[in-house]
Chains A and B, each alone.
Chain A
Amino acid sequence: MSATTAPGAGAAGQYDDVKTDPVSSWADERLGIYKGSKNLIRKVFPDHWSFLLGEIALFSFILILLSGVFLTLWFNPSMGEVEYHGSYLPLDGVSMSQAYASTLNISFDVRAGLLMRQVHHWAALIFIMAIMVHMLRIFFTGAFRKPREINWLIGFTLMVLGLLEGFAGYSLPDDLLSGTGLRIASGVILSIPIVGTYVSYFLFGGNFPGHDFIPRLFTIHVLLIPALIVGLVTAHLILVFVQKHTQWAGPGKTNDNVVGLPLLPVYTAKAGGFMFVIFGVVFLLAGLVQINPIWAYGPYTPDQISAGSQPDWYIGFLEGSLRMMPNWEWNIWGHTLSFNVLIPSLIVPGILFTALAVWPFLEQWITGDKREHHILDRPRNRPTRTAFGVGGITFYGVLWLAGGNDLIATHFHLSVEALTWTFRVLIFLGPVIAFWCTKRIALGLQRRDKDKVLHGRETGIIKVSLEGEFTEVHEPLSAGERYRLTAHEVQKPLELGPATDENGVERPGNRALKLRAKASEAMFSDHVETTVEEYKEIEAGHGHH
């Protein structure tokens, strides 16, 4: 069944009757395409719904590129003031930037312009959502383990670039909402110690908002970041090809093979089809559901604001972080340190993102595991990692909710003050509770798996014995299912030998090792193990009855 064992050199004349078409031959003689593609054509890809998340990101990005190019044909990234006289009558005669005026033009006077703006914006939201969920999938299944740490870092960078790109794009139309976002960004930059004022002056070309920022942002948005994203996505995909996709445990699947369907035709058809499904969904959204109606916000002016306005969802966590922070500010030696801005907008996200980026290396240091891993973990079988992940999501979630505290307050008739205090407590308590609950749940699920393996699956059929005793009939699992449920290592905590050797000399790196042992203990002390011996015992027991 092994599909592609690529042929080496054969006997002369053996391949004489292989027909090639002239175009491919022409290309082959110049590029060596047969050599290059022989192992690719039938490359095997494992299939699972969770492997589609990255594809959603990829396909929505393609749509972003296409719709973005369309928008550049009319968008005018200039902060020069003009008086508007287009088809949107409520703003007739209003003075505004050319960026805003041209976005109105795209929305009302260019046919399909509104559609493409909405496609672009919906695709952007889906893109970032997909990247994040994809990243969580990688995290919870341990797909970041060796040899895929580099791809984890590439993916992480892509996520950060996606956030920046989204914020940049969202700021381009220069409407009241996006200008307010930039105003906040400029305030955040000003809070950076020592260089903040200079950075802000250099970025904005002087005072906020100045005349330079939108043209600069435009170049960053349509050239710099997209080029980086395209480059990194390419590297990301090449690595997926070279390292081959991970797969779930199951009968016939080992750490040394890949089981799935071939690139040509099945995977190509499915992935290609899926791409068009994503396109279809985004176009339907763009046709049916209005997004970012910039005409309703009006042009940006620094002395105006609309209450209850919200940024795009992926900026929400920063917004919430800023909102819940107590107003700490220090004045030392004639200098101002705005912890009220610095901590929530730069330090907290910095820590969150750094932790995310280094997780694979941290985990590897704790486990000391330097083997390659191609079989995915079920989240329940790695309770501590899973609990960390859920704790992190909870942290992010509380920040995000706090970003909508005014909306929550008005909707549920609560005071913003009480809500803010709730969030201030929850930001510490929430992740801890989530961590603890997740770990319990994961261990519970492990126990259930063990039960299933040892006693079989509940059938729902109730048997009455002659003595009148009711028992539920348990149907033993198939060998394949039993294997699927147990085919994972149970990692034990690191055990330390004596701290000194026979000569009483302390072992090198003792401190780090002790720390590692502690971390390992925390990570692996709880687990549920299913052994063949237990199974055999129970089997033997059944035999007696």
Chain B
Amino acid sequence: MTDRDMETDHLPENTGGAGHGAVTTVAEDPFQDPGLPAHRPRVTDLDPRAAKRAERQVALLFMIAVVGVIGSMVCYTFVPNTKVHRFTGLGTVNMNNLALGLCLGFAFLALGCGAIHWARTLMTDVDLVQERHPMKSDPESTAFAVSEFKQGVADSGFTKYPLIRRSLLTAMMVLPLPAVWLLRDLGPMPKDALRHTLWAPGMKLVNPNTGQPLRVSDVTVGTLALANPANLNDDPDERIDNLAKAAVLVVRLPQEALKGSEAQKKKQWDWSVDGVMAFSKICTHVGCPVALYEQQTHHMLCPCHQSTFDLSDDGKVIFGPAARSLPQLPITVDADGNLVAVSDFREPVGPSFWERG
């Protein structure tokens, strides 16, 4: 029993290819295979009445499927799509959707259960045994295939004419290049687009909802205002692309709240108007808009991966995966008292990129 046909030529030490000394010993199944157990008949095999009952059950399930399918078409036609209903546990439900889902769901379930019930009760459950054969080709086929292939290669002269062989290989090597080359027009070269936004000297900060220019008096300590450049809608085609870089948030900090080195505090204050200062809204991690403002601490949180920026410390990262501060936009007031940009951002906004430096 221990030599259950464990063909020695399949043992690892012979084919392992590991060289001398590599022996992986393998123990055999210690107990003898008693062979396939005898078939145990089911009730439906023995009792014709049970079989008849199973037949009726299967048929009933199939008929439920028919009812469900027809029901779904009836519901499609007569249950209005606009009708909604509140169910506890399910929330507001579109009745047309509910009816269709239930009809088709139960139709499919019934069909499936019918087929499985049929298989389990009335079809054979006597195990069949079939042989497996190794995937490997038999030696005769191998020999034949190899000789056919050799003949084919010889007929082609592939080995005989090196010039053809090498030039063909070269052709094959250059062939895939156009597959990349011809994709060039997928997009423009980035150039320095990632370094610029719509902000420019004198560009007004406007309220995104009303389009009205933002004034110093609109921003009080503890509130968070949003602002877009006034020319955002000038080019409707580029509006969203421009917004993705130019969106800023505006907060007001008392001077004594500022932290960090004197130079940094001075810069931050100088770029503000009486403590009203603008920061890029685009997270320096991978670009989500930062959104949650904690008034007391002046922390700004990005909901995507919880990077937290301290606006009172020049937008420094105090927690989370972002590596760089939120860039500040230098602002001032124009003659009419509207907040305007002094210039574009002084560094690229948003996620890092290779050329950023």
Contacts and interface: CB of A to CB of B under 8 A. Distances in A.
A507 B100 contact: no
Could you say which interface size class chain A belongs to?
35 or more
A7 interface: no
A266 B125 contact: yes
A43 B132 CA distance: 12
A322 B323 CA distance: 12
A326 B329 CA distance: 27
Nearest to B244: A302
Contact of A279 (B112, B228, B241): B112
A275 B114 CA distance: 12
Contacts of A284: 101-102, 105-106, 109
B351 A322 contact: no
Interface stretch (A28-36, A124-132, A435-443, A530-538): A530-538
Contact of A371 (B10, B21, B27): B10
Interface string A324-347: 111111010011111011001000
A509 B21 CA distance: 12
A343 to B, nearest CB: 10
A95 to B, nearest CB: 9
Contacts, number: 425
Contacts of B317: 327
Given A305-B304, A367-B24, A288 B90 contact: yes
Contacts of A278: 112
Contacts of B129: 1-3, 44, 252, 257-259
Given A309-B303, A406-B306, A256 B132 contact: yes
Given A492-B26, A535-B30, A331 B357 contact: yes
Contacts of B187: 201-206, 210, 212
Contacts of A340: 285, 321-323
Could you say which interface size class chain B belongs to?
35 or more
A416 B299 CA distance: 14
Interface in A153-211: 180, 183-184, 186-188, 190-198, 200-211
A307 B35 CA distance: 62
Contacts of B32: 479, 483
B324 interface: yes
B128 interface: yes
Contacts of A187: 285-287, 350-351
Contacts of B322: 327, 340
Interface in B1-28: 4-5, 10-13, 15-28
A187 B302 CA distance: 14
Given A208-B244, A284-B101, A483-B29, A329 B352 contact: yes
Contacts of A482: 31
Given A251-B33, A269-B123, A340-B322, A277 B306 contact: no
Given A208-B241, A303-B289, A307-B292, A244 B323 contact: no
Nearest to B305: A323
Contacts of A529: 27
Contacts of A200: 190, 353
A338 B244 contact: no
B81 interface: yes
A370 B286 contact: no
Nearest to B30: A532
A274 B350 contact: no
Interface stretch (A107-115, A221-229, A426-434, A456-464): A107-115
7 contacts: A206-B187, A244-B130, A252-B36, A287-B97, A301-B240, A338-B352, A479-B32
When A and B form their complex, which 7 residue pairs have the shortest distance between CB atoms, in order from nearest? Answer: A287-B101, A187-B286, A497-B21, A252-B36, A273-B115, A276-B112, A280-B109
Given A44-B130, A252-B127, A307-B292, 14 more contacts: A108-B82, A180-B304, A198-B190, A258-B130, A261-B123, A266-B124, A280-B110, A284-B105, A335-B354, A336-B356, A368-B18, A371-B10, A489-B27, A508-B19
